[in-house]
Structure formats: structure tokens, C-alpha cells
Structure 1
Amino acid sequence: MQVTFETPDQPDVHALIAELDDYLYSLYPPENVYALDIASLLAPNVVFAVARDPSSGSALGCAAVVVTPEYGEIKRMYVRPAARGKGLARRLISTLEEAAAARGCSVFMLETGPTMPEALALYERMGYRHRGAFGDYPEDPLSVFMQKELA
């Protein structure tokens, strides 16, 4: 599988993000879904990566990192169910961490949900640890906040 930096403003990526939104809204009420829209993902401080099948070129997953002066925030992490279990999520996150580190970022944060055990386990395996709310997020039982510092 290939992971490349791309624009989120393309039809197959819109489809990935729509699938992610459908999934998130099936688990959580709208006020607990802190998703970035396409316009926000196009901001200059956002690095967006797409995982594609090298034979067909089809988009299998995506993720973004929003780089701020204090930290990089992982957003819009999604891998289609049929493509899971192949290390794509790990490759997407690692690729984004490397790109953000090249911009001077050494601390990474994320917000996810408590009913997503596979995602939580992946983040923990990748060195993310639980923490309190950060940025503009409120403390909420439907949010799990995590942080990782690069060595």
C-alpha cells in the first residue's frame, strides 16, 4: 500500500470522510463529534495523507495532522473496514508524525471515542498515553484524549 500526501478535496477522499462521518455519528451524538470539514483540512497548517491500493489507485484510508506551535493534532484517521489489519493506520500516523516533526513538532495529541477499542489499542501501541482534555475540547465521558512525545 502507498501512503502519500494529497489534498483532501477529491471525490474518493470525500467518500472516505463521508464513511468516517457515518461511522462516528452512529456511535456518538453530533455535539461529541469533533470532525474537521474539507475546508478546514485544506488549511496550510494541515498535512493530509491518503493510503491507496497500488494496483487500483483506490483510496483505502486517510488521516491528517494539524500542526500548531504547541503540538500536532491527529485528525480524520480512517481506514476502510476491508483494508484493516494490514498496518495502514500505523503507516498513516507514522507518516504524519514524520512530516510534522520535519516542521518542528515533537508533541502529538488526539481525541477519540471510548467505544473504539481498536483505535485506542493502536494509539497505545504507537506510544500515545491517556491525558486530560487539551485545546478547546471540554472534558467529556465520550472523549478520550491521548498524547505522544517524540524522543
Structure 2
Amino acid sequence: MIRIDIDDPARPDVHALLSEHLADMFATSPAESVHALDHSALSHESITFWTAREDGVLLGCGALKVLGVPGQAELKSMRTAGEARGRGVATLLLKHILAEARNRGYHRVALETGTEEYFAPARSLYAKHGFTECAPFAGYSLDPNSVFMELPLEPN
């Protein structure tokens, strides 16, 4: 059974997954277009960080960052471990994080992802769950390597 719980981004297996995530981002996008956070940034008080695990084995992670605009948050650091891809881990994490955002009373969750083909599965996942493209938000600027998406949330 897959469990999703709040976790510590500095935990060794999580740190390794986040380091892999950052390496892939820098290998895929120009440095100025990489907005992924490292484990220390994900430990900030404005961010809640979750992992998905099965029998203690890390399958993936994701985070929710409170934005400076009331009722709005940003989805960050969605990553599925290579050996867990194709098992629906990203969908489980996304649904869990969106449910938590609704429970907190947020009315909008936004995200930034890449335009390269590497990010097509992520864009597809978000679109499948109702996210649509939007303008840059929260200090981001237009960037040919970034896609900005948002999902309005109905309260629970």
C-alpha cells in the first residue's frame, strides 16, 4: 500500500531523489529557467513537503508552497523515482496535495514546468487534472522555457 505523509526533504533517500531531480532540470533547461528547489529550500516554513512510500521505499515527492497572495499556493518539486514510474504515484501525490490545498481553503494552485519534450508527461498530468495555462505568477516572468499553469479550487 502506498502511503503519502509529510516528510523531511533532507532525509537521505529524499535528498538523493531531489538531487537527481535538480540534475535533470539543469540537463534539460538553461540555468536561468530552472526553478526547482533543493532540499534546504524545500524545508522553508512556507512549504509543506510530502513523500509517497511503499513499505518504506521512496516512490516520489511533491510540495505545496504558500504564496504571498491570500488563498493561493504553488505546486513544487513533483518527482517520481525512476523505478516507480508508470504506477500512478504522481497522480496519487497530486490528488493528495490538491485535497490538502482545498482543506486549507486555497482557491488557486499554480505551477511552473518546462516547455521541452522532457516535461510533456508532467504537462499532460496537470492538464488531465484540470490545470490550464496562465500568466506568470509570484515573481516569475515570461520565459520561452517555462509553462505556467493554474487550477481554481472549489472549497470542500
TM-score norm. by structure 1 comes to 0.93
Letter paired with 2:105: G
5+ residue gaps in structure 2? Answer: none
Give the share of equivalent positions with the same residue, in percent: 36
Counterpart CA distance in 1 for 2:120 and 2:48 is 26
Shift of 1:70: 4.0
Contact conserved, 2:25 with 2:36, CA < 8 A, in 1?
A: no
Task: Select which of 138, 143, 149 maps to 1:140.
Answer: 143
1:47-81 deviation digits (Å, cap 9, x = unpaired): 11101122xx1211111010232411000110012
Letter paired with 2:26: Y
Shift of 1:8: 1.1
Secondary structure at 1:136 match in 2: coil
Secondary structure at 1:148 match in 2: strand
Letter paired with 2:96: T
State which drifts further: 33-42 or 119-128: 33-42
Is 1:124 equivalent to 2:127 in the alignment? yes
Counterpart CA distance in 2 for 1:9 and 1:29 is 26
Q: Post-superposition, which runs of at least 4 consecutive aligned residues in structure 1 deviate over 3 A? A: none
Which residue number corresponds to residue 47 of structure 2? 46
Counterpart CA distance in 1 for 2:10 and 2:22 is 16
Which residue number corresponds to residue 103 of structure 1? 104
Which residue number corresponds to residue 88 of structure 1? 89
TM-score norm. by structure 2 comes to 0.90
Aligned-residue Cα RMSD (Å) equals 1.2
Secondary structure at 2:40 match in 1: helix
Letter paired with 2:93: L
Contact conserved, 1:47 with 1:99, CA < 8 A, in 2?
A: no
Shift of 1:38: 2.1
Secondary structure at 2:21 match in 1: helix
State which drifts further: 114-123 or 61-70: 61-70
Which residue number corresponds to residue 58 of structure 1? 57
Count of equivalent residues: 149
